[in-house]
Amino acid sequence: MTLTLPPRVTDRAFARLAEIAEMTGDARPLRVAVEGGGCSGFQYDIKLDDPASDDLVLEKNGQKVLVDLVSLPFLSNAEIDFTEELIGARFVVNNPNATSGCGCGTSFSI
């Protein structure tokens, strides 16, 4: 049996969640999920969402990131971060399990 390590969330990602909650007045958690599809076989679905009873909840300073149990093995030991670049700002997943990815940054294969 393979050990599944939970993903890590950077301080920068938690800080951005706090900024979003302050701007919108809605402190909903960030859900990071893996779905079939995309140009490489799998894709990330990152959105504000309500928690489900069986979610893994990663929490810091009152901010929460949710991962469902189906997505957890695909995100084992991954890093969830927030980046600001010339092309825009977004949440990103740095996933050591991905063997290849797409230029869009949301599609990958294992």
Residues 6+ apart with CB under 8 A from 87: none
Between residues 98 and 101, which one has the greater pLDDT?
98
pTM, 2 dp: 0.83
Residue pLDDT, tens place only, 41-93: 778 899 999 999 999 999 999 999 999 999 999 899 999 999 998 878 899 89
Chain length of the chain: 110
Cα(67)–Cα(80) distance, integer angstroms: 11
Which pLDDT score, from 0 to 100, does residue 80 have?
A: 96
Q: Find the domain containing 87 and state its range.
A: 8-109
Total domain count, the chain: 1
CA 38 to chain CA centroid, nearest Å = 16
Q: Is residue 2 part of a domain?
A: no
Q: What is the CATH number of the domain that holds 52?
A: 2.60.300.12
| DSSP of 57-73 | EEEETTEEEEE-TTTGG
Q: Is residue 15 part of a domain?
A: yes
Which pLDDT score, from 0 to 100, does residue 109 have?
A: 45
Q: Is residue 1 part of a domain?
A: no
Residue whose tokens read 């084992």 = 76
Cα(24)–Cα(21) distance, integer angstroms: 5
